[in-house]
Structure 1
Amino acid sequence: MDSGTVDSGFVDLDILLTRIRHPQSKVHFLDAVKAYKAGALRGALTSAWVALAYDLIAKYRELSAMGDAAATAFLQSWDNATAAGDIAKLLQLEAGILEDATANTQVVNRIARTHLERLREDRHLCAHPAFSAEADLFEPSPELVRLHLVNAVNLVLSQEPLQGKAIFDLYDVDVQSPGFPTAYERILDYVEQRYLARVRAQNVRNFGTVLAKSLLKGVPAQWEPLHRKIIPSLVTVRDRAPQAWPDIFAAIVRLIDNLEPGNRPRAIAFIAAFPDFWPQLQEATRTALQATVNNAVPAALTDYRILAGVTVPQFRAALLAVIAGLDREHLVNAVASQPLADLWPRAVEEYQGSGSWRRSEANFSDLITPFAGRLNGQQLDQLLDAVIDNGQNWDAAETDTLLLALLRNATPADRPSHDARNRFYQHIVRMRRIDKYEDVLTFLQSDGWVPPPPEPPADDESWPRRFGQ
């Protein structure tokens, strides 16, 4: 909420009414305006407080519908007291609603609360004569009443019910759920619409810092396997909430400069995703991160996030050497952690050299399938060649099923070239595996590719031509 106030003397109260969001709040506030215009100043303050309290409850109902647990808890107490006719409880809840709106739901910030508490106190003086000394009735000035009316609208009645710290609890549950998107671009739109559009600016800054802490420090622990969702979530904050990014950026720089040595592989992966941070780090920090990369030993690698730094020019040569030195076990773990493009040559090489049918199937599942949806046409050409270059691959029982599933994940623009398809087809014909790969070949023809006239096997010139040839 806006924490400032406006010079009430220059605000038309009728225009002020048009800024109120909730229709019923406008009705209550209209009573305050009418009383003010009629000179009933004590009544005007009393009606203004009623409109304010009603509007906060209405905002709580909106927040509760969005999953805000603090709003839901307050409403449950409010609704239970209403149903039971418990006036004492309702008065207690009304008396504490500004504190709750500041500390729990964060619908109101602390500066705004100060202004609104003055309205509440003056309303008490108007509604309860015993609150004033010597039994004198409190007589607010027109200027004071007008100021309270303006503040009530500016600070609450005209404002969206922006989420406060509840954003963290909501995101925590959501990011672990199957309903959270996995495609990069969809995550950007989703996080913007669900978490940035209706959140207070301070909480956007806090949200960005929490996401960065997850990537750099591994907290909370339940987000550890979710970095492919956390990174684009932070990108959303950077790109879709640019007004908050400078403060978040400065906080992240401090985090990296003060990071524990054990978390340096995380920092290297973070810089790979957000390279703009590298030149802003302290020289000592850059030295430590560079040494961490230079001293990495393939056989001793345990935190595979460090390999993401291969896209950073300062780290690339050292990390390419690490990737080249990975044995199969470490390579499988690295691909499972993150199927980086620079891991693909090693992965397809390992698959191409499979020494048995079972190892071929294991290599495909462990080293090839994780790249599904990430391979371009040239890489799929390499895969088709790897299949036909090794009898353990093309003759393994599951190869056709595994290959078809992978090809179906490729976009039409990233499918294998016609030359690679021709080579694959001719080999399958020669090896008499047309029936085994019939579904694969049908899929490869779905974008217009036509198999070439098959070259008959050397020992059988009468081999029938298939697929209309």
Structure 2
Amino acid sequence: MAVSDVEHLLTQVRTPDVRPLVGEAWICYSAGAVRASIAATWSAVTTDIIGKLIELADGDDGKAKLFSAKVVAAQSKGISTDGVKQMQQIENELLDTAVEFELIDSVGKRELERIREDRNLCVHPSLRPFGDVYEPRPEQARAHLAIALTTLLIHPPTQGRKAIDAYLDYTCDPMFAPESVSHIQAVFFDRLRAATRKGIAKLAAKHALLEVDPGERFPSTQKYADRSAVVLSAFAQRDSTLVRTVVAEQRDKFDNLDGAAQLRALGRLGAEDFFWDLVDGPLTDRLTNLLNVPTPPGPLDPDLTAGLAMVGNSQARRRLPVLERRFDEMNWYSKLYLIDLRPAEFYVPTLIELLREAPSFRDAEPIGQLVVAHANWLRPDTLRQALQAWAANDQCLKAAQMPQIATELFESTRHLGTDQQVAFLEFLAAAQQKAPDPEDYYRYPALTVAMNAAGVLPTAANGTAASSG
């Protein structure tokens, strides 16, 4: 590990009592006092483990309380023969205790044992025969410190089974927020060791792909699978290789799922690269056939809808061309429903057509709301086309909520600059031409006020917006 990396890790040491010790180890290393650096590193390890176990005891962990009592008993005897012997016995068993409490795993224990062995050679020169003095290399001291930091010192005391229990509590909480990606990454990825975070990633993959029953913690396998998909996506932003690995491990089980579950997984994870690593040729054919099943008149089957909703994703359309064909074949209402499930730039041309073809006032309003939801994907040309389609369809123009929706769209597209202003001036002129009465609600007075406030409309001498009609 590079010097700069070790320096960065030093800032992340969790236990206050340990920070001076690792700082001392680094100072000794920098000054060339290699033996002193290794000894200080081991002191930091023992102090950290004892401190974390006492912290667990303070948190009402029964086993940790027993350990804490041993430490207090040894400390109460001070620098006496019995006190030193008791503390030595505690330290001799300390790494085994750390494994028992899942502060480290068996691999971490072996790495920390090497530090202890080198520390013993550094502080007990007589351990070597013929009067030879142990001469550790500087890179050994830096490596020991890096291992101590990454294996133990920068991590909180909650690990292993307890970390997974905390994860299950979090993802089963009624207040779980799918938008809390950064929190998920910080608590369940950044602060955990590799083995623990891999365990959580495996758990999330099983639930997200296979809809494993979460038991009494959560009542719905499908909703919990949706939450697990959020976790996988958050983890993939940190370590895509890890997520690809744990997802690939589920391939055989996923291939044997029923079609409805596979379609739901497509809808849940189809926007993620790691999902498509799972989809080989035979599974592509199966998904294509599932999506191609003829549908009876009326509402779409919810499982089929979950899969079809991925038509907005470019990778899904490329891997499953049937998605776009099925979408093109849908009726007006089915398209509207699908767009509402998962807004995407792909739908902008369709929204313009839906505005043009809206069959009633009540149908027009949800389209207008969806246009606002897609505002970030509108370009000057598509905004102008949408407003022209809107103005040309009286079912849109004179629906009760549309004047307010038009105002929201104006505010949401301000980033388009002059082109946006021109498009809305044309739209407002067309609306007012169809509503000649100055008191008519469908002259879009709220939009007029917003455009005037933005300096888009000329202002009459009396301070009111001049008519654009």
Does residue 161 in structure 1 map to residue 154 in structure 2? yes
- Structure 2 CA distance for aligned equivalents of residues 169 and 434 of structure 1: 62
Paired residues, what number? 402
In the TM superposition, what is the alpha-carbon distance from 1:396 to its structure 2 partner? 2.7
Partner of 2:271: 273
Instruction: List runs of 5+ in structure 1 lacking aligned partners.
Output: 3-17, 31-36, 38-43, 65-69, 124-138, 454-463
- Structure 2 CA distance for aligned equivalents of residues 449 and 145 of structure 1: 81
Deviations 1:408-436 (A, max 9, x none): 33460389645532331211331247775
Calculate percent identity across the aligned residue pairs.
18
Change (3 A) 1:29 1:294: same
Does residue 425 in structure 1 map to residue 417 in structure 2? no
In the TM superposition, what is the alpha-carbon distance from 1:236 to its structure 2 partner? 0.5
Does residue 361 in structure 1 map to residue 361 in structure 2? no
Partner of 2:292: 294
Partner of 1:439: 446
Partner of 1:111: 107
Change (3 A) 1:403 1:209: farther
- Structure 1 CA distance for aligned equivalents of residues 228 and 12 of structure 2: 41
Does residue 201 in structure 1 map to residue 194 in structure 2? yes
Q: 1:338 pairs with 338, 342, 353, which one?
A: 342
Change (3 A) 1:440 1:309: same
Partner of 2:234: 233
Partner of 1:216: 209
- Structure 2 CA distance for aligned equivalents of residues 447 and 307 of structure 1: 40
TM-score (norm 2): 0.61
Counting only pairs closer than 5 Å after superposition, residues 250-329 of structure 1 correspond to structure 2 as 250-251=248-249, 256-269=254-267, 272-274=270-272, 278=276, 281-295=279-293, 297=295, 299=297, 300-303=300-303, 304-310=305-311, 311=314, 312-314=316-318, 317-327=321-331
- Structure 1 CA distance for aligned equivalents of residues 147 and 175 of structure 2: 35
- Structure 2 CA distance for aligned equivalents of residues 271 and 84 of structure 1: 50
Change (3 A) 1:84 1:232: closer
Do 1:52 and 1:152's aligned partners in 2 also have CA atoms closer than 8 Å? no
- Structure 2 CA distance for aligned equivalents of residues 157 and 315 of structure 1: 44
In the TM superposition, what is the alpha-carbon distance from 1:294 to its structure 2 partner? 2.8
Do 1:209 and 1:248's aligned partners in 2 also have CA atoms closer than 8 Å? yes
Deviations 1:195-254 (A, max 9, x none): 5444323344445444544543345644455589557525413xxx35646634643655
In the TM superposition, what is the alpha-carbon distance from 1:317 to its structure 2 partner? 4.5
Q: SS at the partner of 1:408?
A: helix
Partner of 1:403: 406
Larger RCO, structures 1/2 (Cα 8 Å, 6+ apart): 1
- Structure 2 CA distance for aligned equivalents of residues 398 and 264 of structure 1: 39
In the TM superposition, what is the alpha-carbon distance from 1:448 to its structure 2 partner? 6.5
In the TM superposition, what is the alpha-carbon distance from 1:89 to its structure 2 partner? 13
Change (3 A) 1:401 1:49: same
- Structure 1 CA distance for aligned equivalents of residues 112 and 285 of structure 2: 52
Deviations 1:26-83 (A, max 9, x none): 59989xxxxxx9xxxxxx99x998753321255679xx8xxxxx79846798689979
Partner of 2:4: none
Instruction: List runs of 5+ in structure 2 lacking aligned partners.
Output: 2-9, 27-32, 77-86, 120-124, 215-220
Q: SS at the partner of 1:466?
A: coil
Do 2:452 and 2:459's aligned partners in 1 also have CA atoms closer than 8 Å? no
Do 1:53 and 1:94's aligned partners in 2 also have CA atoms closer than 8 Å? yes
Deviations 1:244-289 (A, max 9, x none): 4663464365565454433222454467424576577443222212
Does residue 392 in structure 1 map to residue 395 in structure 2? yes
Change (3 A) 1:55 1:378: same
Residue type of the partner of 2:447? V
Partner of 1:459: none
In the TM superposition, what is the alpha-carbon distance from 1:341 to its structure 2 partner? 3.8
Residue type of the partner of 1:384? L
- Structure 2 CA distance for aligned equivalents of residues 140 and 433 of structure 1: 105
- Structure 1 CA distance for aligned equivalents of residues 150 and 414 of structure 2: 47
